[in-house]
Amino acid sequence: KQEVTQIPAALSVPEGENLVLNCSFTDSAIYNLQWFRQDPGKGLTSLLLIQSSQREQTSGRLNASLDKSSGRSTLYIAASQPGDSATYLCAVSWDGSEKLVFGKGTKLTVNP
Amino acid sequence: DTGVSQNPRHKITKRGQNVTFRCDPISEHNRLYWYRQTLGQGPEFLTYFQNEAQLEKSRLLSDRFSAERPKGSFSTLEIQRTEQGDSAMYLCASSSGDRGNEQFFGPGTRLTVL
């Protein structure tokens, strides 16, 4: 069964700290992996997409890496800010399917 | 580019009633997806259209659920004879198939079944 797991479920850090969010997935035959941000009661905002042939993607203070062989991805957030507080979701699509399979997310709180 | 839009944003209905939601994708996106999200969970895939063709459906999509995309532009999701377990956020996404098929999501429709 193709599954996505995110640990921890919640994380609280002081402002300015660098942090890493983890995502693991079963079955290495992925097509792509997306990281999203979701604010309470809102839709999803796409942060980064990594295609299966790529190892990492960067956008501003965010860096996402992909290791297919170990079934893992990380989202690195540099110099965290209170505005980064949200739930971060990892989602994977596998070869042969267009659908995204999501983890349950990591709820991040950045304290001023 | 105005993004994916969904209407209504909130819907409260009584058990047994039918409801219909609408999704307008980003213009020129030929792919459209429906997902459902309950509290504390990640979104779960419901169905996918490429142009007007419905190409993939989840087993979550029971006989009470039907989705259409008649002209390959906007899509509707109808739930018949709603049940309390249908209460959730219904999310729509679209993609162009390019750039690794990045999916862009709308704000969602929150359904509450009383």
User: Between A42, A50, A103, which is nearest B42 by CB?
Assistant: A103
Which of A51-60, B50-59, B94-103, B104-113 has the weakest average pLDDT? B94-103
Out of B42, B48, B105, whose CB is closest to A99? B48
Q: Which one of A44, A98, A105 has the shortest CB-CB distance to B48? A: A98
Q: What pLDDT sits at residue B72?
A: 87
Which residue in chain A has the smallest CA separation from B3? A45
Q: Which residues of B touch A32 (CB under 8 A)?
A: 100-102
Rounded-to-integer distance, Cα A15 and Cα A17, Å? 6
Higher pLDDT, A95 or B37: B37
Q: Is A93 within 8 Å of A102 (Cβ atoms)?
A: no
Q: Given this model, what pLDDT does residue A28 score?
A: 87
pLDDT of residue A89: 98
Q: What CA–CA distance (Å, rounded) separates A95 from A52?
A: 10
Distance CA A50, CA B82 (A): 38
- A-B contacts at Cβ under 8 angstroms: 65
**pLDDT score recorded for residue B1:** 55
Question: Could you tell me if B32 and B25 are in contact, meaning their C-beta atoms sit under 8 angstroms apart?
Answer: yes
Compute the nearest-CA separation of A30 from chain B (Å). Answer: 11
Dist. CA B31–CA A67, nearest whole Å: 28
For residues B21-49, give the mean pLDDT: 96
**String of b and e for B41-60 (b: at least 16 CB within 10 Å)?**
ebbbbbbbbbeeebeeebee
**Residues on chain B touching A44 (C-beta within 8 angstroms):** 43, 91, 93, 105
- Put simply, the answer to whether A49 touches B100 (Cβ < 8 Å) is yes
Which residues of chain B have a CB within 8 Å of the CB of A102?
Answer: 42-44
